[in-house]
Structure 1
Amino acid sequence: METHRPLHLLLVLGCLTSKIIQCMSCIQHERVALLKFKARLEDPHHLLSSWTGEDCCTWRGIGCNNKTGHVNMMDLRHEHLCDGPSNNGLLSGEINPSLLDLQHLNHLDLSSNNFKGIPIPNFIGSFAELSYLNLSNVGFTGMIPPQLGNLTSLRYLDLNSLYHANHRLFADELNWISRLSTLKHLDMSGVNLAKASNWHYAVSMLPVLTVLLLSDCQLQQLPSSAPNFNFTNSIRIIDLSNNQINSNFPVWMTNFSNLVQLDLWFNHFHGPIPEAIGQMTSLEVLQLGLNNFVGPLPRNMGNICNLRSLDLSSNNISQNTSTFSDIFSLCIGNTVEILNLRSNMLRGELMNWLVMLKRIVILDVSKNSLDGPIPASIGNLSSLRGLYLSYNGLNGNLPLSIGQLSELKIFDISSNSVGGVVTEAHFANLSKLEDLGMRLNSLAFNVSRNWIPPFQLKIISLSNCQLGQRFPSWLRTQKYFVQLYISNAGIADKLPDWFWKLSNFVTLLDLSHNRITGSIPPYLKFYSIRIINLSSNMFSGPLPSLPPDVEYADLSDNSFSGELHQIFSGNLYSLAQIYLSNNLINGAVPASICKIQILEVVDLSNNLLSGELPICFSDLRDLFVANLANNNLTGLVPEVASPCIVEVLHLGSNNLSGEIPSSLKSCNYLVTLDLGGNNLTGRIPTWIGQNMKFLRILRLRHNMFYGSIPQELSNLQLLQILDLSDNHLSGRIPQDFGNLTAMKYTTEATETALESFESQTLTRTDNISTIGYSDSISVFTKGMLLQYTKTLPLMRSIDLSMNQLSGQIPVELGSLHGLKSLNLSGNHLTGHIPASIGGLYSLESLDLSANSLEGEIPSSLSTISFLSHLNLSYNNLSGRIPSGYQLQTLNDPFIYIGNHNLCGPPLQQKCDSDATVHDLIPSCIYSEDGCESDDTQWFYYGGVTGYVFGLWAVCVSLLFSEAIRNAFGLIDFTHHIMNFRNHQIETRS
């Protein structure tokens, strides 16, 4: 026993010493360094409140070595300090150099805070023992200090700055990385490496690198041949996604035998995927989506036996799916769980190959050109949770076997041609279904009124499916849905009261384009709703008060009545777009509308509104679209905000007065300006043509504008519709209207022709992004007022009728080859109708009536093949009415009434016989360059005349020589010639 006593004493002494060390406080100068560091931090939520007392080793986020007491860890990661994710209480301020006193630090984590654009301190490169450094998403900016290359013990380096878009790091070269010989994990995602062209050589020197994450680094190139990588056997994860790499698939990567994950998503990779990819047998995740890869897919891809996730979405893979059997019959068919082939050019059917995906969980083949039926064998894919088949050409009936997919959560077959009847059996075992997308098909629901579905849906998308005339009662069982689309579903029923007491989680509601009746509760119970569309129904009663979070509300095309006060009475801080057109709303526009500071689109057109618009209208600084047309509004045209970003302004068909306000002068992005049908006066401002370079529609008809038409309007190169009719305008039609670029080209060529102009002039980046607004305008054409909405981009029209314009019709108008409607009626125009009018190739409607035009009708008018409406009445035109071509179909004599010196069909007045030949000869042979020269015209004259007289000489000789006729068997032929001649004479007379 005595011999063991010293050993026992040593053991006791060792234990006591260990306990003493553990009870020791942290090193004093390190404690002071930490307090100095804290002093320069901004800590509004007191996350470092525990940093008090003598023992800094007990402070939150600080760790010490158990043996020496030195601080060896500082973990101030925001989530760790807050015990979970949070956006509040981020640390900020400065990084005090006092941290240099922590010379034994080997773990430093400041991630997910916000140091507001300060640079990474150079002194961090002095922590010689540091093995873990995480500075991700802390808001650092500027160049990464190359001193980090001194951290030769570093094994983990994370400089990710993806989530601080305004504070990004950059590096012009990465040579310093090559010195980090022990580095295993490197994450520089979000760091700008556009100038670091040698990045791949620097990285290739790291012998034990396992993870390389360089997403969103503005990388532009990869080496065409394999660099001498030191980590060929160690690398397991490579992420080069969201860059600008423009190359073929890097074949040298297929040599990385232990690579588990390769992410090349969202680059400019192109060309085929090589057969060598089959060598990467360790791959579990392969992300190649959003590139320009072309098909077909290599058969060897089927040999990647560990692959669980394959993303080839949004490429140019063109392949018939019948060849997929060759790929998925290999081992990949037994392992792949996620297959994303969305947005390619696949064609063929789902048959055969689909059942080879034994473990498939997520299958996305949407937005392709697949056809054929959904196979009944799909019910055998027992692991399937997400099935995306939308936007294809699938047809046939929906198989009942869908109801066997008991794990299915998402089922989307939207935008196909699937038909047939949907019954309860289709949903028999879908107890886990959360997202049902069947819209835009030819499906008809036939379920019992008492049916209780086995699922609780979050997204219900059944637009354009026939749900029956009665409101679907099974919806009453769905308590947790977030989005409901049942527009155009054939419902003709009163909306039940229980509907408004359903889910408390609704964010989107679309009941539009049905025949639903009833009224809306004064206060909607869907408090979380952001998008509500009740348009094109038969709702009546007063408008409801909108929930505070609503962003988009469309209640148009109903029979709502009452005033606007109710709907604008709440605190609608999120409302951006509101549509109330085509109702029975009366009263004034309340000033409370001006409180909605972010309002972008307001459509109150076609109601019974009256009174003046509120003066505060100019406070709506985010307004893009304002449509208050077809009401009874009075007063002046309202001022607009400055700077003005309005793009569409409809105030037509009201009782507004005064002049066009000068505040509109700053509306440089205006596309539509409609002030027609009011009592406005003054001159048309010249600044419309000088400032509004994007104007496509200018409608000032039916006002009291006077003076001449501004020459500056010819600067509007995008102008498609110009309507200045029914005013008191005088003077001449500007010759430069022939330069209106958008009217010069046929519809098919217009966008191409204007592309250059728009690219040079369009500097604005925040164009209209609306969900429901479609611009619409009424155009007087073909003798009637027509409304253009869907076809509005195709319309080209000039209407200057019912004014006091004088002078001649400018010859230059003949160059407007894309013009569809021209109305110059009801003026004092004189002179001839220019022969260049034949250059209006696309013209469908021409009205020159009630002027003082004289001379002959140019025969070039007959060559306008689309002309279906013509009015030349009440002028001083004379001579023979041209015949043939399109004019022969316009046989209404009222087209020419009031021109006493016109003759020929369709008028009863016959022409003199000396006009017989003249009618065959166009007064102007029109070409793309205008009228041909006189010499050219005489050439045509001589040719035609010679042909006529030559033919007549032959016929005369045949008529008077029976022997010749009999010898050549030409009796019947002569008979036909004589009949043809008689017919021509009758037609001309």
Structure 2
Amino acid sequence: MFTGRVPNLSSCSSLVQLSLDNNTFSGTLAESIGYLSQVRSINLASNCLEGLISEAHLFNLSKLQLLDLSLNSNLTVKISSFRNAPFQLERLWLESCKLGPYFPKWLQNQKKIEVLDISYANISDSVPDWLWDNIHMCEFLDMSHNKLYGVVPDLSSMYNLMIIDLSSNQFNGSLPLLPPAINTIKFSRNKFSGPITNTCHLRNLYVLDLSNNLFSTHIPQDCFINLMSLRYLNLANNNFSGEIPNSIDSPCFVSSLHLRNNSFTGEISRSLKNCNKMTILDLGENKFSGKIPDWLGESMLELAVLSLKSNHHYGRLPSSLCRLQNIQVLDISMNKISGTIPKCLKNLTILCSKIDPNFVSHRFFIYVDAMGFYHDSAYIVWKGKEAEYTKILRLLTIIYLSNNNLIGEIPHEVTSLIGLIALNLSGNNLVGNLNFLDLSKNNLSGGIPSTLAQLSHLGVLDLSFNNLSGKIPWIDHLQTFNASVYMGNPRLCGPPLVLKPCPGDKTPVGNVDETHNQEHDNIFNSKGFYVSMALGFIVAFWGVSGTLFLNKWCRITIGKMLVCVEDWLYVKIMISKNRLKIYLENC
């Protein structure tokens, strides 16, 4: 890997191809690169270049066909419009370069473009009409992650177009007509609306992502059948309605199906039984109903993410779910599931072992063709927040069965799921008392959750010798355990760890008992204490004595007792006096 500045290559006048990509070249690019009059291809992608690229760098490159400056996030490309362009580019990659805020007008003279990537380019503008006319030969078009707006025109005449990515912009209106050869459509995170029938009969389509738009339309059965032949279908976060076709004879090639947060109805379709390559199935937050079918755990053995959350499913959890040996995320929360938790959970192979963070898994890659692949993603609730996870999805291992009608005890087999990082069973009718919890001598990390105190029956707790950190929650139940429960966690602090106060504690943890004693001393030193004590004595004395003296029999009895006591004291005093006198005389 090379570092430093890009060398001065002006003396290499016969150079045809310059490839310095995937290095760490830094600094500005010298204008002398414009003297490479024979160069046809310049690739400086994935470096650390900065500064400005202007027409001065390109004025003499009449044979230039390929220019790749992508993934140089500090590089600004500002080229004045050439009246007569010295070159006609066929392939142009400027991903992550600074082109905006206006759409680059110098592209108006480029009419042979086959590949155009101006994604992540800080452009906040409408797409000029001339661009759509100029790219009629385009095969690959990526303008994603800008702030482009407007209506996309009819693109059906772009016969060579195979991949189009306009995601994360502000395009609106209906979907454009697209050419029959297209295989990838990524229009997510825009403001598209209206019908999607334009996409239903594209025979070469592999990837369709219309998620996070403003669609509110019914999807016909015949359209759904055709869409099930895709490899990747994402309609999430819209307001689509309809039912998944229930034809068991329909072929299914989908490996990733995202229908979450729509208004789909009906039962889980039997047509999904044929999707034996499915890795992600997200039907959450819809209006699906019925029982979870047994075949779900028998046909989709490659399934890694299954989300049926927030629907109207009922019945028992089928034991066939335990055959999903590759499952990493299982979310069936917020339904009406009843019965007990299956004891066969120990058969979930992936969850029974820890995932190696250094292991590169390809199970969440969506392969399209020779143009490359895409990282799949899924919406997961983690630490109370829902977010879309992409690259770290392979590290998540989660089971959510919360807010159902589950009964019985938590099966002991759950303890075999040592790879699990989150288990949520809240909001059910589970029974049993957990009075012994020993998690010592593991590699647990993070803070101690305050919800642990809700285990009010817990009599024995051992969290020692882990990697826990932060302040021990100041909750009565957790404070009843002694310091040995938390020992061996160097980054834990706070009581009952007497010698490890947390930073910012006003009262040192080691002085808790002293503080308690000082509070008692303050009570004894107050005037109120002595006044109340005197009043209490007076009230008690006269309450008892007054009652006795008002009774005649008690008064006589007490008088006789006092006379006897007086005589006894007199005799004792006289005897002691005589003994003392004799002792002194003998001395």
Same fold (TM over 0.5): yes
Q: What is residue 432 of structure 2 aligned with on the other side?
A: 831
SS of corresponding position for 1:829: strand
Alpha-carbon offset, residue 831 of structure 1: 2.3
Q: What is residue 290 of structure 2 aligned with on the other side?
A: 682
Q: Is the 8 A contact 1:551 1:574 kept in 2?
A: yes
Q: Deviations over 1:926-969 (max 9, x none)?
A: xxxxxxxxxxxxxxxxxxxxxx9xxxxxxxxxxxxxxxxxxxxx
Q: Is the 8 A contact 2:161 2:181 kept in 1?
A: yes
Q: Is the 8 A contact 2:284 2:311 kept in 1?
A: yes
2:423 is the alignment partner of 1:822: yes
**Alignment map for 1:667-706 (pairs within 5 Å):** 667-706=275-314
Q: Is the 8 A contact 2:47 2:71 kept in 1?
A: yes
SS of corresponding position for 2:297: helix
d(CA) in 1 for partners of 2:283, 2:44: 45
2:587 is the alignment partner of 1:587: no
2:2 is the alignment partner of 1:374: no
d(CA) in 2 for partners of 1:659, 1:511: 38
Q: Is the 8 A contact 1:427 1:453 kept in 2?
A: no
Q: CA separation of 1:875/1:817 partners in 2, compared to 1, >3 Å: closer, same or farther?
A: closer
Q: What is residue 400 of structure 2 aligned with on the other side?
A: 799
Q: Is the 8 A contact 1:453 1:477 kept in 2?
A: yes
Q: CA separation of 1:556/1:627 partners in 2, compared to 1, >3 Å: closer, same or farther?
A: closer
Q: Is the 8 A contact 2:214 2:239 kept in 1?
A: no
Q: What is residue 542 of structure 1 aligned with on the other side?
A: 174
Q: CA separation of 1:444/1:781 partners in 2, compared to 1, >3 Å: closer, same or farther?
A: closer
d(CA) in 2 for partners of 1:750, 1:426: 42
Aligned match of 2:141 in 495, 499, 509? Answer: 509
**Alignment map for 1:138-537 (pairs within 5 Å):** 369-376=1-8, 378-441=9-72, 442-449=74-81, 452-523=84-155, 526-537=158-169
d(CA) in 1 for partners of 2:164, 2:60: 32
Q: Is the 8 A contact 2:229 2:251 kept in 1?
A: no
Q: CA separation of 1:470/1:370 partners in 2, compared to 1, >3 Å: closer, same or farther?
A: same
Aligned match of 1:919 in 450, 463, 482? Answer: 482
Letter of the 1:669 counterpart? K
d(CA) in 1 for partners of 2:438, 2:195: 51
Q: What is residue 713 of structure 1 aligned with on the other side?
A: 321
- Calculate the TM-score normalised by the size of structure 2: 0.74
d(CA) in 2 for partners of 1:841, 1:883: 9
Alpha-carbon offset, residue 797 of structure 1: 0.7
Q: What is residue 348 of structure 2 aligned with on the other side?
A: 740
d(CA) in 2 for partners of 1:634, 1:892: 49
Q: CA separation of 1:461/1:820 partners in 2, compared to 1, >3 Å: closer, same or farther?
A: same
Alpha-carbon offset, residue 662 of structure 1: 3.0
Letter of the 2:28 counterpart? N
Q: Deviations over 1:582-630 (max 9, x none)?
A: 22233223xxxxxxxxxxxxxxxxxxxxxxx414633556332233333
Structure 2 portions without partners, runs of 5+: 489-497, 499-507, 520-587
Q: CA separation of 1:579/1:829 partners in 2, compared to 1, >3 Å: closer, same or farther?
A: closer
SS of corresponding position for 1:501: helix
Alpha-carbon offset, residue 663 of structure 1: 3.2
Alpha-carbon offset, residue 384 of structure 1: 0.8
Q: Deviations over 1:712-737 (max 9, x none)?
A: 32222211111121222233322332
Q: Is the 8 A contact 2:236 2:261 kept in 1?
A: yes
d(CA) in 2 for partners of 1:811, 1:400: 70
Alpha-carbon offset, residue 525 of structure 1: 5.3
User: Higher relative contact order by CA 8 Å / sep ≥ 6: 1 or 2?
Assistant: 2
SS of corresponding position for 1:380: coil
SS of corresponding position for 2:236: coil
Q: What is residue 542 of structure 2 aligned with on the other side?
A: none
Note the aligned Cα RMSD (angstroms). Answer: 3.8
Q: What is residue 813 of structure 1 aligned with on the other side?
A: 414
Q: Is the 8 A contact 1:868 1:890 kept in 2?
A: yes
d(CA) in 2 for partners of 1:868, 1:778: 26
Q: Is the 8 A contact 1:880 1:903 kept in 2?
A: no
- Between the two proteins, what is the percent identity of the paired residues? 38
d(CA) in 2 for partners of 1:767, 1:399: 38
Q: Is the 8 A contact 1:807 1:830 kept in 2?
A: yes
2:451 is the alignment partner of 1:871: yes
Letter of the 2:237 counterpart? N
Alpha-carbon offset, residue 436 of structure 1: 1.1
SS of corresponding position for 2:414: helix
SS of corresponding position for 2:356: helix
- Calculate the TM-score normalised by the size of structure 1: 0.46
d(CA) in 2 for partners of 1:643, 1:924: 58
Structure 1 portions without partners, runs of 5+: 1-368, 590-612, 759-765, 843-863, 894-901, 906-910, 912-917, 926-947, 949-978
Letter of the 1:622 counterpart? S
Q: CA separation of 1:446/1:768 partners in 2, compared to 1, >3 Å: closer, same or farther?
A: closer
Letter of the 1:919 counterpart? N
Q: CA separation of 1:673/1:532 partners in 2, compared to 1, >3 Å: closer, same or farther?
A: closer
Q: Deviations over 1:896-946 (max 9, x none)?
A: xxxxxx6354xxxxx6xxxxxx63455999xxxxxxxxxxxxxxxxxxxxx
Letter of the 2:41 counterpart? I
Alpha-carbon offset, residue 772 of structure 1: 6.8
d(CA) in 1 for partners of 2:34, 2:332: 62
Q: Is the 8 A contact 2:217 2:241 kept in 1?
A: no
d(CA) in 2 for partners of 1:516, 1:635: 31
Q: CA separation of 1:675/1:869 partners in 2, compared to 1, >3 Å: closer, same or farther?
A: farther
Q: Is the 8 A contact 2:38 2:63 kept in 1?
A: yes
Q: CA separation of 1:495/1:707 partners in 2, compared to 1, >3 Å: closer, same or farther?
A: closer
Q: What is residue 253 of structure 2 aligned with on the other side?
A: 645
Q: What is residue 73 of structure 1 aligned with on the other side?
A: none
Q: Deviations over 1:148-174 (max 9, x none)?
A: xxxxxxxxxxxxxxxxxxxxxxxxxxx
d(CA) in 2 for partners of 1:733, 1:796: 18
d(CA) in 2 for partners of 1:733, 1:836: 20
Q: Is the 8 A contact 1:841 1:865 kept in 2?
A: no
SS of corresponding position for 1:871: helix
d(CA) in 2 for partners of 1:576, 1:904: 54
SS of corresponding position for 1:460: strand
**Alignment map for 1:29-178 (pairs within 5 Å):** none
